[in-house]
Structure 1
Amino acid sequence: MCIVGARPNFMKMAPILRAFAEHQPPLPALLVHTGQHYDASMSDQLFADLRLPRPDLNLEVGSGSHAVQTAEVMKRFEPALDEHKPSCVLVVGDVNSTLACSLVAVKKGVPVVHVEAGLRSGDRRMPEEINRVLTDQISDRLYTTERSALGNLQREGIAAERVCFAGNVMIDSLHASRPQARPAADTLKAHGADPALLRAEAGYGVVTLHRPSNVDQADTLRLLLETLRAVSERLPLVFALHPRTRANIERFGLGGLIDARRMVLLPPQGYLEMLGLMGGATVVLTDSGGLQEETTALGVPCLTLRENTERPITVEQGTNTMVGRDVQAILTGVDDILAGRGKRGRVPEYWDGHAADRIAADLHRWLHDQAPTP
């Protein structure tokens, strides 16, 4: 049983399911969508963009507080687990559904497999960090995206024998989808924006913001919007607005900080649209973990508006620079990129489009080894 619940999971699961189907012998899988992602239209578009098969089961949990959502996933997943009796439950990433389904499985004696294990920001204030740590503790087989993750797991008492370095399945999706990426000009036209903006001498930047620590407090959001306005004076910005961010801009009365001549506001974009926007960008400013990885794979400079990252390889080897909410660091970072001094980086090991193939091969061996002797 393979679990998805929210947008980041879809990009990770699509190549895994393809690799399972193409493996010899094939690994039969049942796709369970918990319904944690509450925007049905966005979910539908992402499934289509990623060529992800329709879910076999949709638990239709919807939104709610962390406690409510986690509890509701557990309650609805348990009967499905009892009915289908899988050989293992495979979870990806660090959303509430990841932890909730893992807890149900381990208490039922069903092995848990965690893809994207061992990533740590060191910040326990992030709900995702709690989900990561706890899921890894109760997983039987753990697949990592970078070699440093093994050290994180061993420090937490997880034996190296349970861990397999497979690479980054997010980058599998990027490789598979890049030829179908939607041109940035087409995306702007579809939303009534002038694509001439993209042809500015300095190019253009892409912005995403969604983390509560950045958008839920009026003073913090005001500071970031004022800083982005200053950035837009250097190069135009395309801002894909998360619903939470848009609502808070309206709630705090901060719409006046948006310079409509230099900042294009878009609704949440599909995977192929974001891929096209990022691929042509001069710089990406974001607080998203996934975009840190994708910009590194694309060779596009990234300024991360956070104080920490669970993906340090994007800083050590890739194109990512941590700038937090330091106004001067953000502006200096943009100026350096425009002057040609931005990070070039390199693509990390096993970010080659074949991580899911390695997972399928290892999981087949591992499940065979776990099978009871006749």
Structure 2
Amino acid sequence: MRKITLIAGARPNFMKIAPIIHAIQNAQDNGNDISYRLVHTGQHYDKKMSGDFFEQLNIPDPDVNLGAGGGSQSEQTASIMIGFEKELIANPADLVIVVGDVTSTMACAIVAQKLHIKVAHVEGGIRSNDWTMPEEINRLVTDAITNYFFTTSEIANENLRNSGVKEEQIFYVGNTMIDTLLKQRSRFAKPDIWDQLGLKEKEYMVMTLHRPANVDQEAQIKSLMDEIIVHSKDVPLVFPVHPRTAKILNNLKISHPRLHMVEPLGYLEFNYLVERSKAVITDSGGITEETTVMGIPCMTLRDNTERPETITEGTNELLGTDPKAIQPAMEKLFKGEWKTGGIPKLWDGKTAGRIVDIILDFKEL
């Protein structure tokens, strides 16, 4: 029996894990000797992660929630490590699968290796080369102690080769986040705000901003918002906003008749909005992958990205954090000159199946 422990610490992690659970269940149905245990570290408390959330993704509730949220990054790392060590001793595994780049990814990889359990990193090898981002440190540490790398792009493969990873450890499989997107696309759900705001297809933009470099500096967020409002013509701006960011915007008295700051939305509701929007303005990484697959113009307000394939192949443009970059990008969009882009190789909805097939072939487990 191959015992797999799957780690998730935040809502996007579950989007990446869900297809792997389905692929393991499929392998079990086909008579393969494989089992899994789903561990939620509790890194992020999210009131939207109720039973409905797991039901939407068609996965069971986690086998355990370590409840390791809160505190500084160091406190959180320590809490996750203490909790996961107890969990792994009580429920040994042959392989620990970590996804993405949150604190839980790094902390659980360290614990597994110290208990002599092999680690696989889904989304291994992606790099922003920006060490001011905690996610980049998490990626570097995790990849330094990973046994098997499941990668989303040839760029990630090259990053790993350049850091000394052996070819036989790298498995170019695609993107499990896109597995979830394609599986759930037919189930996207119209949010209440669609009718409340009188939204019309391709006649509004979606915004998400959460990175401290953008939202914690008052002058920066004010300049960005002013430029976006001025140059977005008569198009409504729908901004599902984190309460902390909302407080900053309210303190700065940033408001406009076309700016609609709304509560954070569920996965199916948010992507309903994205799929029908004229464009997305964001500082997220994962959203740039989803807009690429859905063919939606995307403006990323960051100076770097760990997902360059969304720019070289997809619909994303890296504008940087200078507010003056917004006007030319908006002009390009409204002239109908935004690139159409394409979908990166292996972003086809079948990534998780490839991952589980590879794991079943591992002789050393």
- State the TM-score bracket (shorter-chain normalisation): over 0.9
1:146-195 deviation digits (Å, cap 9, x = unpaired): 111111011112112111000000100000000000125x4434xxx32x
- Name the counterpart of 2:323: 327
SS for the counterpart of 2:200 is: helix
| Structure 1 residues 137 and 54: alpha-carbon distance in aligned structure 2, compared to 1, 3 A threshold | same
| Pairs aligned (count) | 358
1:260-306 deviation digits (Å, cap 9, x = unpaired): x2011111111001110000011000001000000000000100010
TM-score of the superposition, structure 2-length normalised?
A: 0.94
- Name the counterpart of 2:255: 258
Partner Cα distance (1:188, 1:45) in 2: 21
- Name the counterpart of 2:47: 40
SS for the counterpart of 2:321 is: coil
| Structure 1 residues 247 and 364: alpha-carbon distance in aligned structure 2, compared to 1, 3 A threshold | farther
- Name the counterpart of 1:209: 209
Q: 1:85 aligns with which of 79, 88, 92?
A: 92
In the alignment, does 2:8 pair up with 1:4? yes
In the alignment, does 2:8 pair up with 1:14? no
1:200-231 deviation digits (Å, cap 9, x = unpaired): xx611000011111111111111122123224
Contact 2:41/2:65 (8 A) holds in 1: yes
1:7-51 deviation digits (Å, cap 9, x = unpaired): 210110011100111023163100000111112334544323222
Contact 2:125/2:151 (8 A) holds in 1: yes
Structure 2 counterpart of 1:4, which letter?
Answer: A
Partner Cα distance (1:351, 1:126) in 2: 26
Structure 2 counterpart of 1:188, which letter?
Answer: W
TM-score of the superposition, structure 1-length normalised?
A: 0.92
- Percent identity of the aligned residues? 44
Contact 1:45/1:270 (8 A) holds in 2: no
| Structure 1 residues 146 and 326: alpha-carbon distance in aligned structure 2, compared to 1, 3 A threshold | same
1:42-75 deviation digits (Å, cap 9, x = unpaired): 4544323222210001111122211111110001
> Where in structure 2 are there 5+ consecutive unaligned residues?
none
Partner Cα distance (1:104, 1:341) in 2: 49
Contact 1:10/1:52 (8 A) holds in 2: no
1:311-362 deviation digits (Å, cap 9, x = unpaired): 0000000000000223332122122112110120000100000000100100
- Name the counterpart of 1:370: 364
Partner Cα distance (1:234, 1:119) in 2: 37
In the alignment, does 2:103 pair up with 1:99? no
Partner Cα distance (1:231, 1:363) in 2: 50
- Name the counterpart of 1:316: 312
- Name the counterpart of 2:347: 351
CA RMSD of aligned residues (A): 1.5
Partner Cα distance (2:14, 2:243) in 1: 19
Worse-superposed segment, 237-246 or 282-291:
237-246
Partner Cα distance (1:351, 1:41) in 2: 27
| Structure 1 residues 248 and 59: alpha-carbon distance in aligned structure 2, compared to 1, 3 A threshold | same
| Structure 1 residues 203 and 151: alpha-carbon distance in aligned structure 2, compared to 1, 3 A threshold | same
Q: 2:162 aligns with which of 155, 164, 183?
A: 155
Q: 1:303 aligns with which of 292, 296, 299?
A: 299
> Where in structure 1 are there 5+ consecutive unaligned residues?
none
